[in-house]
Chain A
């Protein structure tokens, strides 16, 4: 075997072994979702029976999606999907533009501004939830999709991330374009964006994840089923002293599927853009 082939084989073996270890908790999750009652799940919990299901059933899934359920699961999923899409699209646009200007703009105070914006990332979410709510009430946007989208579009995290990735594009390219008469918007659109497919994919995935898992804010800012997200449905399975394990497991599996699909969609953008070789020299 060639050196490369044996390295590849080793790599595959290693990856398989790691994968097996990593997904142990998820196997338990999936297997539990097929167990009909929560007593069954609890009884198997502390041992290796957690991996086995003697009588698999889809009853939990049926119960959650059924009409008798208090929380309209699919509607909530649709709401989450809508909010996710809106936020991701706007975030990609707004945050990348801002990062670009902060990096390659030519006005004084850019570094300071970037520093301040990054420092804003430190503000813990829980702190500002109630003031944000009062503000949203004043603006009249509660109980809408917008109230769930807007607060997260300009994200210090992603502005900072774009900044770091954009800074790896040498300024010489942009300056060459400038000499040719291109304005900053053009340089951004024609040069920086295409060169940063991976960064865009990263932000899309991470922001998507963050929005899919939003819980406290949508709960506070919306009141009706029309706008509530999927996380509320999952939370409804966790009571004061009893957890409806079977429904919680099945609900979680269903909640994970769309986002997995989302990830798979953006995977293909993790390729180096062809022109990165044009960067050198």
Chain B
């Protein structure tokens, strides 16, 4: 029985919602609005003799007309397509394997979570030694596994392998995030469902397809959307390891914005880039939300 909807909010509801709204307003909406304002100016990073003035859409025109920007957009789309299956797939696998509270399981859970605990700077620094050419560990490993057929590669400095290299590193560092969420999601699946499936004679793979996967629907939606948004904002690893190179192969939207704002010192220009980035991601988000909407009848699409 569905309760009647009211249009007015109760006092309690308001009290529970207000702290979040106030903080969001203060620390997200207002600064973003300020940033949008800056996007139409030529504000530099350091205030100087040239007065800040309104420049209309000039920043936007330059950005949308720049090849570098669109190449960066393509890169993050590519990166997302690679990293989402890899990272989330492995996270789900891990969560399923680690589901449980036995001492052994808890030990492995902690081990599996270690990469996520490692600060990204350190991850980059250590992985750069793995990526060394010609005798870094990764090259040596692939060489050994292929019985010498594999030619060593300059992982981070060859335009063809740079983005995959960053993908591997990113998936390794961050799968802990999705793993932990999947672990919580798996906990919410009632044991009754598994019993019913067992009674029906299902086992192993069909347990997964008939019970686990469908029950993870809300979790999956969340993970897909959030991981996509995070992937589109790839920055830190690129900034440390490749600075967008080689030849723009790993340039990302946030890196482009960061360089404009903090290296080339044009805050107005960077703000315009941020606004465009925001709109692009909102587009992706809307698309994903639409594709994963639940059927009105209540069955999963």
Contact = CB atoms under 8 A, between A and B. Distances in A.
Direct contact, A vs B (beta carbon within 8 Å): yes
Listed residue (A50, A115, A150) with the most chain B CB atoms within 10 angstroms of its CB: A50
Given A46-B136, A94-B23, A209-B116, A122 B229 contact: yes
22 contacts: A45-B129, A46-B132, A118-B285, A119-B285, A123-B28, A127-B270, A128-B31, A131-B38, A135-B31, A154-B20, A165-B185, A175-B3, A184-B16, A185-B16, A198-B184, A198-B188, A209-B116, A234-B122, A238-B121, A267-B110, A271-B101, A276-B187
Interface in A28-70: 28-29, 32, 45-48, 50
A12 interface: yes
B108 A19 contact: yes
A188 interface: yes
A84 to B, nearest CB: 13
Contacts of B154: none
B277 interface: yes
B222 A160 contact: yes
Interface string B218-252: 11011001100100010100000000000000000
B23 A23 contact: no
B257 A124 contact: yes
Interface in B97-139: 97-98, 101, 104, 106, 108-123, 125-127, 129-130, 132, 135-137
B299 interface: no
B109 A161 contact: no
Nearest to B219: A164
Interface string A97-134: 11011100111100000010111111110111011101
A122 B278 contact: yes
Contacts of A260: 110, 114, 117
Contacts of A120: 24, 28-29, 32
A201 B9 contact: no
A135 B26 contact: yes
A233 B277 CA distance: 32
B122 A29 contact: yes
Interface in B15-59: 15-17, 19-24, 26-32, 34-35, 38
Contacts of A29: 118, 122, 126
Contact of A19 (B21, B27, B111, B181): B111
Given A107-B9, A107-B10, 16 more contacts: A26-B126, A28-B129, A46-B132, A105-B9, A106-B6, A122-B282, A124-B278, A126-B235, A128-B32, A152-B27, A165-B185, A184-B10, A213-B120, A267-B110, A270-B101, A277-B191
A79 interface: no
Nearest to B109: A267
Given A157-B226, A234-B121, A19 B112 contact: yes
A115 B290 CA distance: 12
B301 interface: no
Contacts of B225: 118
Given A153-B23, A165-B188, A25 B126 contact: yes
B192 A277 contact: yes
Contacts of B22: 154
A23 B172 CA distance: 10
B117 A259 contact: yes
Interface in B172-186: 172, 177, 180-181, 183-185
A89 interface: no
Nearest to B1: A175
Contact of B98 (A15, A94, A201, A279): A15
Which residue, B10, B104, B125, has most C-beta atoms of chain A within 10 A?
B125
